Amino acid sequence: MRREIIEQKQRQRAPSQRALATRKRILDAAEQVFARNGFDGATLRDIAAEADEAVSLVHHHGGGKETLFRQVIGRRAEELSKARIQALELAQSLSTNPTTETILSAFITPLLTNAANDIGWQAYTRLIAHVSADERWRDIAAELFDPTALRFVDSVQNATTQSNRTAVAAGFVYTISATLAHIAAGWRINALGEDEAPQDNHDILIAFCAAGMNRLQTV
Amino acid sequence: MRREIIEQKQRQRAPSQRALATRKRILDAAEQVFARNGFDGATLRDIAAEADEAVSLVHHHGGGKETLFRQVIGRRAEELSKARIQALELAQSLSTNPTTETILSAFITPLLTNAANDIGWQAYTRLIAHVSADERWRDIAAELFDPTALRFVDSVQNATTQSNRTAVAAGFVYTISATLAHIAAGWRINALGEDEAPQDNHDILIAFCAAGMNRLQTV
DNA sequence: GTCTATAATGAGATAGAC
DNA sequence: GTCTATCTCATTATAGAC
């Protein structure tokens, strides 16, 4: 019947459980491989192997390499932003003037906590590092991460009574950068610390960044 | 004559001026392209186009993609290390107890000054960022950058009378990370600062990192 | 949706004349 | 050293049977 055909175009049949599971496994695999090798270093074959699926299925669910990358980035972005905003609002409800340290902690801790417990989030963190470091993904950062980041920059500017907004923004980018190094460059910290202890201490990171921020008041 | 053939193997004819110039142009081009696109994103064809040379010449002088990459990294490493050590020793000669800020400035300023005046050094800075962020180049960092970095970690540990060496190493890695962000992520700083002014202020960076370091005394 | 097969492209590397 | 031509392989992407 004609009508059925038209309806199919408008509202496709809901995906089966198996299809959804396949799709999830492909996105999970892509997350791992992109995080490990970067966008250019990753291949659809690697991803297919990691997911134990056919290459063409990766293409089918992913919609091409770049679309797949953007899907993977987008998948956890909203959850992360919500957790950050929620932590910020909690801090603001507890004090009318939260400290710089408290604000930065609200930004950093949700990501670090997720990453500590879940290899997917751990990979996602490295993905954010790739996006943050490569201007080619500027639009992704602008769409998915900047709105939240701007709220935090506002709050920090408020907390430090800093009139130079660009300085605050710079400090915030340094903070983001240090956070990603904290997670992804543990090998370098161990090399320079001449120590095998993989000390994953959030407090050191947050103290470092908050002190740096506060110092900018007087620059 | 047999003897001539043997001599050729031992001591090859010195390269011509033209060959040296070609080689330099290829290394310069590789520096730009690797910095722009990363190791995986760069192609020998891009490099050849940038150098305006044949692809096979890139291969000839570069010795393959990875060797070329290592050559480019190695080319400026010694000069950078010397400038850093020299700045450190100067600071130490002026004061028996140089401040954290002075020490970090000795590490950061040579690179930033070079990068401000020379597009080759600017590209090189982004290359260091790639090497620092990717564990796959761990051996390069260990060989070319860690010896100098270790001297600075020692000095900072001394200046901050910090017993927890891993904390100092962590702070130092955060500092390196922030420095690279300072140079490579100006676009992000502008986005979050809601400002077009490309404020390249070294003082902000150094103040931020030194304050962060000093804060670690009490963590 | 799934899978096999294959197209189409672009990559790094090399051969050999000059 | 230089340059043209080419090899070989891995890549993304698609076609079409089930």
Give the pLDDT confidence of B3-13 residue by residue, as tens digits.
443 344 445 67
Answer whether residue A7 shows pLDDT above 50: no
Give the three-state DSSP class for A69: helix
Closest residue to D14 (CA to C1') is A56
| Element housing A80 (H / E) | helix A65-94
Where do we find the tokens 């007087």?
A: A218
CB nearest A174 (choices: B141, B181, B194): B181
**Which string of b and e fits A27-52 if b means at least 16 CB within 10 Å?**
bbbbbbbbbbbbbbbbebebbbebbe
- Distant-in-sequence, close-in-space partners of B106: CB < 8 Å, separation ≥ 6: B84, B87, B88, B90, B91, B152
Task: Select from B145, B138, B134 the least CA-distant residue to B107.
Answer: B145
CA distances from A16 to A19, A22, A37, A59 (A): 5, 10, 31, 18
Q: Which pLDDT tens digit goes with each residue over A159-177? A: 999 999 999 999 999 999 9
Note whether A192 contacts B169, CB cutoff 8 Å.
Answer: yes
Query: Could you give the angle at which helices B186-193 and B165-184 cross, rounded to 10 degrees?
Result: 80
Residue of B nearest to A198 (CA): B166
Answer whether residue A67 shows pLDDT above 70: yes
> Could you give all domains of chain A from N- to C-terminal order, each with its CATH number?
1-63 (1.10.10.60), 76-218 (1.10.357.10)
CB nearest A170 (choices: B165, B204, B215): B204
> Which of B204, B205, B213, B216 has the highest number of chain A CBs within 10 A, making it the mutation to test binding with A?
B204
Alpha-carbon gap, residue B85 to B196, rounded angstroms: 35
Where do we find the tokens 């010795």?
A: B63
Residue of A nearest to B170 (CA): A189
Interval B109-138 mean pLDDT: 96
Q: Which pLDDT tens digit goes with each residue over B10-24? A: 456 788 999 999 999
Which two tokens mark B31? Answer: 């520096």
CA of B174 to C1' of D9 (A): 41
- Say if CB B83 and CB B112 are below 8 A apart: no
Q: In chain B, what is the greatest distance between 2 CA atoms, to the nearest angstrom?
A: 75
- Mean pLDDT, rounded, of chain B: 93
> Which of A66, A192, A201 has the highest number of chain B CBs within 10 A, making it the mutation to test binding with B?
A192
A 10 A CB-CB count for B49 gives 14
Name the phi and psi angles at A42, rounded to 5.
-80, 150
- Alpha-carbon distance B115 to nearest alpha carbon in chain A (angstroms): 18
Instruction: Give the helix ranges, DSSP H, for B63-99.
Output: 65-94
Note whether A205 contacts B37, CB cutoff 8 Å.
Answer: no
Where do we find the tokens 């060989």?
A: B143
Predicted confidence band at A13 (pLDDT cuts at 50, 70, 90)? confident
Which two tokens mark A27? Answer: 């996105």
Q: Using a CB cutoff of 8 Å and minimum separation of 24, what contacts does B123-126 make? A: B123/B31, B123/B32, B123/B34, B123/B35, B123/B36, B124/B31, B124/B35, B124/B76, B125/B35, B125/B180, B125/B183, B125/B184, B126/B35, B126/B36, B126/B180, B126/B183, B126/B184
Is pLDDT larger for residue A16 or for residue B139?
B139
Task: Select from B102, B117, B123, B128 the least CA-distant residue to B200.
Answer: B117
Q: Is the CB of B162 under 7 A from strand D?
A: no
Which of chain B's residues 180-209 bind strand D, using a 7 Å CB cutoff? none
Nucleotides of D under 7 A from a protein CB: 1-6, 10-16
- Say if CB B32 and CB B50 are below 8 A apart: yes
Which two tokens mark B156? Answer: 């900072």
- Mean pLDDT, rounded, of chain A: 93
- Say if CB A45 and CB A55 are below 8 A apart: yes
pLDDT for A195 equals 77
pLDDT for B198 equals 62
Find the angle CA(A211)-CA(A212)-CA(A213) to the nearest 5 degrees.
90
pLDDT for A218 equals 87
Please tell me the least confidently modeled range out of A9-23, A191-205, B55-69, B81-95: A9-23
Contacts of B126 in chain A (CB under 8 A): none
Alpha-carbon gap, residue A108 to A117, rounded angstroms: 15
pTM of model > 0.95: no
Length of chain A equals: 219
Nucleotide nearest the Cα atom of A66 (by C1'): D12
Note whether B146 contacts A192, CB cutoff 8 Å.
Answer: yes
CA of B23 to C1' of C10 (A): 25
Give the three-state DSSP class for A195: coil
Which of chain B's residues 4-23 bind strand D, using a 7 Å CB cutoff? 12, 15-16, 18-19, 22-23
CA of A64 to C1' of C6 (A): 18
> Which of B177, B199, B202, B209 has the highest number of chain A CBs within 10 A, making it the mutation to test binding with A?
B177
Which two tokens mark B43? Answer: 């192609």
CA of A29 to C1' of D17 (A): 28
Residue of A nearest to B196 (CA): A166
Alpha-carbon gap, residue B57 to A202, rounded angstroms: 49
- Distant-in-sequence, close-in-space partners of A107: CB < 8 Å, separation ≥ 6: A84, A87, A88, A149, A152, A175
CA of A67 to C1' of D17 (A): 27
